[in-house]
Chain A
């Protein structure tokens, strides 16, 4: 028992590692604030373009989405980080995470939003267009607000995954929460900082998880 406390819940170590771990948390937040909007907006772009009637637009989009959904994000990240320098292009860890996540997330957010857009009855667009709204205006003011509401639980669920996946940044030396915790661990020869990171992840994500459950329950109730 004492061994467990010493190794995983060591108060002295925790106090000493606190500032390093907090730095990591700030970077994780920063990273999330970057990759979530980037993924959401590029996904939105894909979803809207997927409404095109032209196959020449839709098919490459489908291929793009399939490709990045099947491509493990960690592999993508390492490829960008370790591969691009061979082309004389050095992006740095932060930028690599941004690009890799944008490619990966856009596919996921895009599929969710596409389903949301498809869930809005076509009559909504016709009504909007019949009053003189352009296709773009109908999308922005009529379709998307309904589409996003319809898939809100899925969007939130995906966002949770994305925030968790920012820990992959540790592999390419981005000083986010996990990376900083590991630094502190190797400096102190004690895994307590890793436990701190785990607790912090839980504390920031748990409210989102609760919110998600509530939304899902409400969606179920609404359906019944």
Chain B
């Protein structure tokens, strides 16, 4: 197994708050890792450290062979290989769906206009929104917006995709369409790290579930083991809580 993500001893302080307390994480190529844990456990921060949207206080992070924390690394170039999907979609409201997907293709990947448009259209097609290419985000449902956001990332052909609570802001009836796209991505062999509480999805799609609490990985293992026979009391309590909802 070759790890495409290697993070060791990652610490993050926000002022006096110690949010990550030495996290080690290896993710293999084509693996889908689910990260769960109570709010404030540091799971989103960990995700954001991986593409250096947050600067870790210490530790080492390597993604797709690139040392993410080295001052010599061209971070903008490195981020092309790491897609990220946010809870609040963060589509650019002044551009169409197509424009949202094309921007980085043009400005980061350096594609010409025609090629960028073809690639963007293909990415939208892949998330089932080819017919919405010329709509603006305000004219799309939350589920459609999130799928455009996924298209914006996958158009750059990343090696790893990070999902930060991708369905938390969605109405329940729209969650399925986003999970379907994620499942399709998984089947295509994309390496994915997903922060989410979609237990059903985790159970049948994840290779591994990580439970974080208080800035540390408490335990990890196959979904069945973590959900059905957790070893730690804190994991048990947390899973009991989410299953009640």
The answer to whether B93 and A130 have CB atoms under 8 Å apart is no
Given contacts A123-B86, A146-B93, contact A130 B53 (CB under 8 A): yes
Tell whether A188 is near chain B: CB-to-CB under 8 Å.
no
Render B71-92 as a binary contact track against A, CB cut-off 8 A, 1 for contact. 0000011111011101010111
Tell whether B245 is near chain A: CB-to-CB under 8 Å.
no
Which residues of chain A (114-145) have a CB below 8 Å from chain B?
121, 123-124, 126-134, 137, 141-142, 145
| In the complex, chain A residues whose CB is within 8 Å of the CB of B235 | none
The answer to whether B90 and A127 have CB atoms under 8 Å apart is yes
Given contacts A130-B84, A132-B79, A141-B103, contact A149 B152 (CB under 8 A): no
Contact of A127 among B82, B109, B149 (CB under 8 A): B149
Given contacts A131-B79, A132-B108, A132-B156, contact A124 B86 (CB under 8 A): no
Tell me, rounded to whole Å, the shortest Cβ–Cβ distance linking B57 to chain A. 17
| In the complex, chain B residues whose CB is within 8 Å of the CB of A123 | 86, 88, 90
| In the complex, chain B residues whose CB is within 8 Å of the CB of A134 | 76
The answer to whether B107 and A133 have CB atoms under 8 Å apart is yes
User: How many A residues touch the partner, as a band?
Assistant: 10 to 19
| In the complex, chain B residues whose CB is within 8 Å of the CB of A149 | 94
The answer to whether B149 and A132 have CB atoms under 8 Å apart is no
Tell me, rounded to whole Å, the shortest Cβ–Cβ distance linking A25 to chain B. 36
Contact of A145 among B82, B94, B149 (CB under 8 A): B94
Contact of B108 among A126, A131, A145, A146 (CB under 8 A): A131
Tell whether B191 is near chain A: CB-to-CB under 8 Å.
no
A123, B153: Cα distance in complex, Å: 15
A124, B103: Cα distance in complex, Å: 13
Tell whether B130 is near chain A: CB-to-CB under 8 Å.
no
Contact of A137 among B90, B107, B156 (CB under 8 A): B107
Spell out B's residues near A (CB within 8 Å). Answer: 51, 53, 76-80, 82-84, 86, 88, 90-94, 103-104, 107-109, 149, 152-153, 156
Beyond A127-B149, A127-B152, 9 extra complex contacts between A and B, CB < 8 Å: A121-B90, A126-B86, A128-B103, A129-B76, A131-B83, A131-B103, A131-B152, A132-B104, A134-B76
